[in-house]
Amino acid sequence: MELTPKQIVKELDRFIIGQHDAKVAVAIALRNRYRRSRLPEEMREEITPKNILMKGPTGVGKTEIARRLARLVRAPFVKVEATKFTEVGYVGRDVESIIRDLVEVAIRMVKDEKFKEVMPRATEIAENKLVDVLLPLRKKADTGEKSDAQLKEELLSEIRAGHLDGITIELEVKQEPKPIQIAPGNQPGGEIDIGNIFGGMFGGVKKKKRKLSVKQAMDFMVNQEAEKMVDQDAIVTEALARAEQDGVVFLDEIDKVAARAGRDQGHDVSREGVQRDILPIVEGSTVQTKYGSIRTDFILFIAAGAFHMSKMEDLIPELQGRFPIRVELDNLTEEDFVKILTEPDNAVLKQYRALLGVDGVSLEFDDDAVREIARAAFYENENSENLGARRLHAVLENLLKDILYEADDNETKEIRIDKAYVEEHLALSLRAANLRKYIL
């Protein structure tokens, strides 16, 4: 069953604090995709996604909202920085590589799904082949009282239990020719695999013997069997369709290519050129990839930027028109920091508890201590660069440095962080931040 907008927002709330307007915008965009898929084909072709433009400082959840959204519906997702691209004719990446990257992600996603489907059967075949490899070795060690069938049964049980993982065996594997990729005329998708051409001319694929542990051999053989079972052409066809219909592209730092009126006009020519190059793929075009052509008409584009030095209106009008939904994300408050530390499924404090749990250390935080950490992070954001939620990582690393360093040697395996501990360990950084206000 497809998720409703409210269910999508609820799922996003599990990982991202606040930013309700942005969550609602992406939830509606996602639900509209499902609605479109239920329409007759003639109407479906007329409806294109309503792309989203987000404005907000770093670390408030712009990227995370888009990434979690794509993961929620198992959609191909790619995040790119607009600053990595240059106008056609300059050295740098061309914008069509965004779509080629999206197709690669879709191929990998579909391939993983197909592999999971055939994995039980591939594992069974690989186990039997590995038993045949190990049988001669077992026969040498056996006194001759057991039949081959009994020895095979024993080996199979031991392989499944992992008792033989450390044993080294020699396995004959195919030696794949190393490909040399050439793109004639710099045309995307026109690569020639020299390795495969010459491999075919000189007697096909060669084999070589490799020494592997039983565990490594098992993983290798399972992948080999799975490769044989899946239809590569079907993977490519499905991946292209999924990238076309369900793909999500997150264009970060879009504000850095916005031309600021009246400033640095010479440099802004290049910025406007990047925008004009992005425009065709956003409004819908056909891009050639090595797997085939793909239309970009129905890909959802989410652009984001801080827009400190420029405004949304500084983007060229044609590009603005392709991002009809505008969302402004809020700065994080002290209360937001408290929630980020404790509430999400991937909360920062839960991560540190898990890390120290590996060394057998139990780490707990008093409520007052959590609020003091949140206050310190909020205070530093206010008095220096605003890093959003990323500031919490810097504050916690500073706070827990001694505990993380001495975890192995620490005899006290239960550590409780209270407000006094936080004040003592963060006093220097807060004092430095306080002094910065008065330094001219």
**38 sits in which H/E element:** none
Look at residue 47 and tell me whether its pLDDT is greater than 90. no
Same domain (yes/no): 145, 128: yes
pLDDT in tens, 54-90: 888 888 888 888 888 888 888 888 888 887 776 554 5
- Sorted by sequence, the CB contacts under 8 Å of residue 381 that are 6+ apart come out as 332, 387, 388, 391
The predicted structure's pLDDT at residue 193: 54
Same domain (yes/no): 70, 173: no
Among residues 186, 216, 238, the one where a domain terminates is 238
Look at residue 98 and tell me if it is in a domain.
Answer: yes
Overall domain count for the chain: 3
Same domain (yes/no): 232, 127: yes
Same domain (yes/no): 303, 321: yes
pLDDT in tens, 215-257: 888 888 888 888 888 888 899 999 999 998 888 888 888 888 8
Percent share of the chain, pLDDT over 90: 4
Per-residue pLDDT, averaged over 141-147, amounts to: 69
Q: What is the CATH number for 313?
A: 3.40.50.300
Least confident of 204-208, 334-338, 398-402, 418-422: 204-208
219 Rama class: left (phi>0) / alpha (psi -120 to 50) / beta: alpha
Question: Contact, 15 vs 346, CB < 8 A?
Answer: yes
Look at residue 258 and tell me if it is in a domain.
Answer: yes
Q: Interior CA angle at 142 toward 136 and 144, to 5°? A: 100
pTM of the model: 0.76
Same domain (yes/no): 285, 218: no
Same domain (yes/no): 302, 247: yes
Half-sphere exposure of residue 38, counting CA atoms within 13 Å on the CB side?
7
Q: Is 417 helix (H, G, I), strand (E, B) or coil?
A: strand
Alpha helices for 292-366 (secondary structure H): 317-321, 334-342, 348-357
Same domain (yes/no): 253, 156: no
Look at residue 438 and tell me if it is in a domain.
Answer: no
Same domain (yes/no): 323, 404: no
Q: Is 130 helix (H, G, I), strand (E, B) or coil?
A: helix
Give the range with max mean pLDDT: 286-300, 398-412, 417-431. Answer: 286-300
The larger pLDDT score, comparing residue 163 to residue 408, is at: 163
Look at residue 151 and tell me whether its pLDDT is greater than 90. no
Look at residue 436 and tell me if it is in a domain.
Answer: no
Q: Is 211 helix (H, G, I), strand (E, B) or coil?
A: strand
Residue length of the chain:
440
How many angstroms from the chain centroid is the CA of residue 283?
A: 25
The predicted structure's pLDDT at residue 270: 66
Tell me 329's DSSP state.
P
Q: Is 407 helix (H, G, I), strand (E, B) or coil?
A: coil
Tokens 């749990």: give the residue.
357
The predicted structure's pLDDT at residue 184: 41
Same domain (yes/no): 255, 275: yes
Q: Is 388 helix (H, G, I), strand (E, B) or coil?
A: coil
Same domain (yes/no): 13, 87: yes
The predicted structure's pLDDT at residue 259: 66
- Looking at the DSSP bridge assignments, the partners of residue 415 are 363
Among residues 299, 328, 357, the one where a domain terminates is 328
Same domain (yes/no): 210, 316: no
Look at residue 94 and tell me if it is in a domain.
Answer: yes
Among residues 178, 205, 238, the one where a domain terminates is 238
Q: What is the CATH number for 394?
A: 1.10.8.60
Cα separation, 189 vs 277, whole angstroms = 19
Least confident of 258-267, 298-307, 420-429: 258-267
Give the structural domain span for 16.
5-104+242-328
Cα separation, 396 vs 379, whole angstroms = 14
Same domain (yes/no): 119, 179: yes
- Sorted by sequence, the CB contacts under 8 Å of residue 126 that are 6+ apart come out as 218, 221, 222, 224, 225
